[in-house]
Every structure is written in C-alpha cells, then in structure tokens.
Structure 1
Amino acid sequence: MEISSRVPGFYKMSIEERKQYIIDLYDLSEEDAVQLLDQVSLPEETADKMIENVVGTFSLPLGLGLNFLIDGKDYIIPMAVEEPSIVASASYIAKIVREAGGFKTEATERIMIGQIQVVGCPDFDKAKRAILAEKETLIRAANDAYPSLVARGGGAEELEVRIINESDSKYNQMLIVHLYVNTCDAMGANIINTMAESLAPVVEHLTDGKVYLRILSNYADRSLAKATCTIPPELLASDGFTGEEVRDGVVHAYEFAASDPYRAVTHNKGIMNGIDPVIIATGNDWRAVEAGAHAYASRHGQYSSMTTWSVDEAGNLVGELELPMSLGIVGGASRVHPMAKLAYKILRVGSAKELARVIVSVGLAQNLGALKALVSDGIQKGHMALHSRSVAMAAGASGDLVDIIAKKLVESNEIRVGYAKKLMEEYAK
C-alpha cells in the first residue's frame, strides 16, 4: 500500500477530520477505527493489568509527525507528548530533509547485554580463566533457558569476562560476566534476565565466588541505529537569514554542545524531545532509551552532543545521529496498550531495527529544528506562538475563545496567564 507522509494542510483540519483521514488512508478496520475515534485510549481494566494500585489513566496528546522520508519510504509517525512545537518542528524539518532526498539510516544487529556480578572470588584471574574455558557450555546453557528465542533466529551469541576494581578492597573487587544476546524483535529484558539467572549457579561453581546481580544492561551499545541527512544551504534560508548563515550557525551551535556539558544537556534534551514521544507512543521503555542515550553521549570521557553537524565539500549541511536503542516491537506494553497497537499500524515498521532507524531520524530532525530556530529567529518565536494556546486554556478559555485569546497574546508579545485572564475579562464584558 502506497502511503505518503506529505499531507498539506493537515494542521488546519479538525480533530475529527484528521482521524477520518487516517482511517481512510490506512483503510483501518472497524475495531481500529473505533479505537482512534474513542475518547478512552486506555480502558481502566487494561491499565489495572499493566501496573499496580491503578486509580485511573493519564493521557498525553497524540500527534502525527508528517513528511518523513526515510530510506526511500514514507512514514507518518505517532508522537505522544505534551510540549508545544515538538510535532510541528519535527514535521517542518522532515519536509526540508525530504526535499534534499530524505534521511538515510543503518542499524547494527539487535544485540543486548546481560550482566552477572561475581564477588568474593579467592583468585579472580583463575575465576576469569575458568569462565572462559567453559564459554561455549555457558552460551548453550543460556539458550537452553530460552529455546523460543533460538527458534526465532536469536539467542546468546558471545560471552566476555571483565575484572573491575582489581586493586581495591574486597567489597569493590568483582568479576563481571557479559552475555551478548540477539533478542530479535523483542526489547529483551525478560529474556536476558532469565538467561542470566539460569547461569548464576554455574558461574558461582566455576569461580568459587558469590553472584549478586544478574540482569540486563540498558547500555545497549551493540544495538545501535544511525540516521544521516545532507541538506543544501538554500533549503535552510528563512526570514531574512541566508541558507549559509543558518548552516554555519547550526555547526557553531553543535560545536558549542560538543565542547560544553552545560550546553550539551539542553542540546540533547531537544533530541530526546523527538525520540521519547515515539518511544512512548509505541509502548516502549523511554527511560531505558534515555539512560542508554545519555551514557553513549559520555562514551569518550565527557558528556557531549549526541548529534554531529558539519559542512561537506559542496557546502551542504550534514547531520548524523547514532544512539543505542533498547526497544522492541513484540511483548510488553507495545502489544498491550490499545493506542500503541494502533501506532504500529500507522508506522508500518516490520522489525525492531526499522523502528530504531525511524526513531533516530526523528531525533535528528528535532535537533535541527531547535538549532535552526536558535540561530535565526530564536527558539521563542515559534514555540511561544504554539504555547499561547496552552496559556489561554490555563486562563480558562475554551472553544473558539482559545484561538482568539492566543492570537491576542502573540500579537502583544505577552504570553502570560495573568494577561490572558485580563483579556478573558474584557471579552466577558
């Protein structure tokens, strides 16, 4: 089915018109259409099975990132987020990148890591040798603990051993076994934890030590996804700024983030502004992805920019984002939450690898959107224009009055709840 992510005027439609457009575009089943049209995105009886002590549900706005062309394929991307301007910014930059040929992506194999911590070994070097001597046996034992994964083409593939804090006290000295597992299309937490726990007694026997932790690592640096884009400067020109000025400003802004952790934190938060909403919409663990991404940004010894921006020989702006992606498209909330299931039908991704490639493309777009605004008009112009609607509602506006008050706030350049309330009083007279 050919689906275009270019939907001119989508933002001008009413919510009902947008929903019907998506229903028609994807030829959604009656059940899926009802889910999209229903005001209850997560039934309480489902929520009660997902976590403990449920007293209700908490909704986020679900928007659609448009215009994305990734590896020659169009994607409409569900994004669950409360902050104004994120969806608009991602869609705007995706349109620019689309005109430049779209995003290009790649991803490594889906290798996640399980860790087994051993302490109290009489001889740590001897313990390490003992583990490595039985490496193949341990890998087979791990796979025996989860045969269904092996049947799907995955499973434990490699094992390494590290000794850390060798010169410290007995409480700091430890041996760490790393089990590398191809989790296929699953995030793999339960798989890896099961495998690690099954190996613990054997590891204790081989090392004469005591096993404490046996759990996955969310630092998935063997499950990477990378997105790149190349943009001619003329596509970056806007509002009195030449494309070359915007291009150079973006590179200077990147260099700032690459050199200064204080700037890097805010720079990278902007990247996660794009990534987290897609993770949430697809029912994945956004905390795991966040933790892994920030760790990866520190891999060279200093917290730095997740993206890189440069100028090639032809004068084009070149962007790149590579991050670990501990996510899946099977299991967990991704196939339990009704809206997450619908999100996958809209996304049309066939594997966890493909989802990871889409997500880093959104992160790269979001970063460029923020940097382009910062080096030209400033971040507040577009953001506050969209934020004005939230301010109007916070002041008590509803219906058509929201847009009327929001417009007055922008025109006056006073986007404050206090001023919005004053305007409300004037309209009430």
Structure 2
Amino acid sequence: MIAPISGFSKLKKEEKIAWLSQTYLKESESAEGILRQYWNEDDNLQQLHDEFTENTISNFYLPFGIAPNFLINDKLIAIPMAIEESSVIAAASKAAKYWHNRGGFKVEVRNTIKIGQVHFLFKGDEEKLKQFFNTCKPQLRDAVSSITKNMEKRGGGVLDIELKDKTSEMADYYQLHCSFETKDSMGANFINSCLEKFADTFKTQAENYKDFNEEEKHPEIIMSILSNYVPECIVRAEVSCKVEELSDDKKIDSHTFAEKFLTAIKIAEIEPYRAVTHNKGIMNGIDAVVLATGNDFRAVEAGVHAYAAKDGKYSSLTHAAVENGVFTFWMEIPLALGTVGGLTNLHPLVKVALEILQKPNAKELMEIVAVAGLAQNFAAVKSLVTTGIQQGHMKMHLMNILNQYNASSQEKETLIHYFKKHTVTHSNVEEQLTLLRN
C-alpha cells in the first residue's frame, strides 16, 4: 500500500524524481534518465519552463512544424503548428496549396465580445431587485475603474452589465451577465478581476439598500467567473471557386466531386456521430495553431463544441453550397484569442511563432486560426470522398511504425520506397521489416 506524501510541492525537482523512482518506477531502468534527457541544457530556459506550472519534473515536447502557402485575404502566410498527429500539417499544407491557385481564403472577424458572469441567489421581491440593480449599475462600473483604465486606453473595457433572471431554471438564481472587449489580450484575468469586484460591490450595495428587507440585503454570491462560451466572438472563413475548377484528380470529375463533397457535409450537419469526428478534424488544425501561439486550446475546444450544439443538436461547424455554378465552403466559429499576456510574452517558441505570423493582433490571429481549421477540414473531407482517409494518413504514420520497431536509417529509406506502391498497415510494415532484417 502506497502512503500519501505530504509537502511534495516543496521538494526540489531531483527529490520529486527520486520519490517517483522509489514509489512508482521501481521496475523501470530508463524512466529517470528519460525525464532528465528532456531537460533544457540552458538552466535559465529550463527554470522558465519549470515555472509555467507546478511540480515540474521534465518537459513534454510536441513537434513544432510549418504549413506554408496560405493565401489569406490576399496575404501569403506560413502557419506554425504544434501537433503530434501524423498527416495534420501535410494535409493543411496541401489544402493551402490547392486554394492558393483558386483565390485563397477569405476571412473576417464579425465580433470580439467576451462574456463573464456573477452567479448569485436572491430570496426576495424580483421587482425590488431590478430597481436595486438599476441604481447599483453605475457604481459597479465605477468600482472597476482602476482595473479597466489601461484596457480602456487600448479601446477595450466593460461593454455592458445585465441582470438575468434564471429562476425558471433554478429557484432564486440570478446572474450579472457582463460583456467585455479585451482587444489583443485573451482577457481571462482581466475579466475575472472585474467580476470579483462587481460581486463585492453588488453585495456591499445590497446591504445598504433602503428598500430591501433584512433577507434581501444579503444576496448569496455563488461564484464569479468568465465564460469560455463566446458565441458573439465570431470569425467567418470561406473558400470558393467555379465548380469546373474543383477537381485535381483524374479519377473523379469536378461535378461528381462537388456533389459528393456537399453530401458529406450534409451528413455531418444531420448526424451527430459523424459531426463529432468531422469537427475533431477541424480542431486538428485549430488546436495546433492555438497551442503554437501560446493560447488556451482547452478553452477554445470547449467554446467551439458548445457552439456546434447551439441549435439543440450537435452539428457540423462547416457548410458547403453550389450556387450559379460556384462552389463555396465556409465556417463560422467562436474564437477568443490573444497576442499579448500569458505565454505569448514568456515562451520563446511562442514568440517565434508570432514572428512567423508577422506579429498579428488578436483579430488577425483569429482569422489565421479559423483558416487553419477550414483548410484541415477541406483536406479531410476531400480525402474521404476520393481516395479514402487511410491512404494518406497511413503513409504519414509509416515513420511512427518504423520508429516503434527501432528501424535503422537504411531500413527506413528502403521501406519508405517500398510503401510508395504498397498499402501501409501495421502488419504489412512489421512483415516487410522482418523480411528485410532476415
């Protein structure tokens, strides 16, 4: 029986690893060495990484790659992507090249409003609460003036504060529903600081409101927190061309391709089982850029998937149509991103990623990320309705299988050449590698 450990966070990194080795890694001869192998040789750089989070014992690396040739609003961009999944960067690059010759990607940010809420319980007269809120609202804004002054200089700040009655869904439940503009910052800390100040001020003002009875003077603040659901922080990306220009494959003509593509998108719109995998493909592109630029991919994931279910049923985020002989493929998604604050100012590779993107502001980064998702989805659906997804994916996965079997450089070269004309499966690779070694 393993006993709990006290004071683990206070141990030095070497001591943490020693405890792990003695407690959970007794049978491993290599684990301790692998943990040290991934430390940075630069002590200052390693300390920086150690301080990004708690109880750090090593670094977990992801490949940092580039998808070139993205023509976005007539500007050529190379997009950095941090991802481990085979074929994602290759697919994005292929889609970028495909659409570069057909006019490129058109994209616009529709809005950048972000939301935060103060959730509270109020047992009393609703009309009196509304009157109190109207009286209190200017004081709520005044209370955060010291927090918002710098943001306001950049054109941001608190946009509005609303009182929302949610008592039909839960007894005594109300919200202060607050909207914010945070400009080039993702704004989580700014929003949460404002919300907590709103809550304190709201509670204090209620205690002194003359028209409340004793119970009404004490609304119960449950929590104050931003929302990662940002349905008003929307970016739209699209591509279009004449149907005749679509096909680059001799095995399928343009009109047949367009029909199959539209049908595949329609299936993702109406069938949740397909929609989830369909949208996961979109997020392959989005998450990789979000991660490479130091943004919160978990928040983006949560908000995007919630948006996919906004009409009461989970559905495709992308859509396609043919009108007057023109094929159009588009997507509207919510993205709350930042290019200042957080890791954007700290992580050296994030700084490089933003330099590669020519130091975009938050709106420009939203556009780039949305395009990466649309491109990824186009590449995936194109493969599905033509060659099938596995042909390209397994060829990219070949190197992972070879590395799994510790293939030498010569073995890799031989088998890469062999599988240019043969189907890649795990068993086929294993078989050919065995034959080669014998």
TM-score by length of 2: 0.84
Q: 1:69 maps to what in 2?
A: 71
> Does residue 422 of structure 2 align to residue 423 of structure 1?
no
Pair 1:282-2:293 in alignment:
yes
- CA apart distance, 1:309: 0.8
Aligned equivalent of 1:53: 55
| 2:202 counterpart of 1:203 | yes
Contact 1:197 1:214 in 2 (8 A): yes
Question: Using the alignment, how far apart are the partners of 2:138 and 2:115 within structure 1?
Answer: 17
SS of corresponding position for 2:294: coil
1:81 aligned residue:
83
Are the aligned partners of 2:246 and 2:258 in contact in 1 as well (CA < 8 Å)? Answer: no
Matched, 1:391 2:401: yes
Going from structure 1 to structure 2, the CA distance change for 1:366 and 1:264 (only over 3 Å counts) comes to same
Aligned equivalent of 2:176 = 177
Q: Look up the equivalent residue of 1:89 and give its one-letter code.
A: A
The answer to whether the Cα contact below 8 Å between 1:139 and 1:158 also exists between their aligned partners in 2 is: no
| Residue of structure 2 in register with 1:273 after alignment | 284
Read off the aligned partner of 2:81 and give its amino acid letter: M
How many residue pairs match? The answer is 387
Select which of 154, 157, 160 maps to 2:156. Answer: 154
CA–CA separation in structure 2 for the residues paired with 1:120 and 1:410: 68
CA contact (8 A) 2:391 2:423 kept: no
Partner of 2:423: 413
Deviation at 1:384, TM superposition (A): 1.1
Q: How much does 1:361 deviate? A: 0.9
Aligned: 1:164 with 2:194: no
Give the alignment partner of residue 101 of structure 1, picking from 100, 103, 106.
Answer: 103
- Change in Cα spacing, 1:65 to 1:426, as seen in structure 2 (3 Å) is same
The letter for the 2-side match of 1:307 is: T
Match of 1:242 in 2: 253
Structure 2 CA distance for partners of 1:410 and 1:230, relative to 1, 3 Å? same
1:300 aligns with 2:300: no
The Cα RMSD (Å) is 2.1
The aligned counterpart of 1:123 is 125
Q: Which residue of 1 aligns with 2:267?
A: 256
C-alpha displacement of 1:118: 0.8
1:232 counterpart residue number = 242
- Contact 2:238 2:328 survives alignment (8 Å): yes
* 1:380-402 deviation line (CA, Å, top 9, x unaligned): 11111111111111111143432
* More displaced stretch, 239-248 vs 117-126: 117-126
1:44, 1:280 → 2: CA distance?
Answer: 19
Show structure 2 runs of 5+ residues with no match: 1-39, 207-215
User: Looking at CA atoms only, which structure, 1 or 2, has the larger radius of gyration?
Assistant: 2
| 8 Å contact kept, 1:225–1:360 | yes
The 1-side partners of 2:53 and 2:98 are apart by: 41
After superposition, the Cα gap between the structure-2 partners of 1:236 and 1:165, relative to the gap in structure 1 and judged at 3 Å, is: farther
- Shift of the alpha carbon at 1:42? 10
Cα–Cα, structure 1 residues 100 and 422, in superposed 2: closer, same or farther, change >3 Å? closer
- Deviations 1:66-118 (CA, angstroms, capped at 9, x unpaired): 11011111110001111111111111111222222111111134321111001
Q: Distance in 2 between matches of 1:268 and 1:41?
A: 40
The DSSP-based 3-state class of the residue aligned with 2:51 is helix
Q: Point out where structure 1 has 5 or more consecutive residues left out of the alignment.
A: 1-37
Structure 1-normalised TM-score? Answer: 0.85
In structure 2, distance between residues paired with 1:121 and 1:239 = 70
* Equivalent-residue separation in structure 1 for 2:169 and 2:78 (angstroms): 54
Q: Residue type of the partner of 1:344?
A: L
Q: Residue by residue, what CA displacement relative to the aligned partner does 1:143-172 show, whole Å, maximum 9, x if unpaired?
A: 33332212222110111221114364x4xx
| Counterpart for residue 372 of structure 1 | 382
Q: Are the aligned partners of 2:67 and 2:79 in contact in 1 as well (CA < 8 Å)?
A: yes
* Partners of 1:107 and 1:362 in 2: CA distance: 15
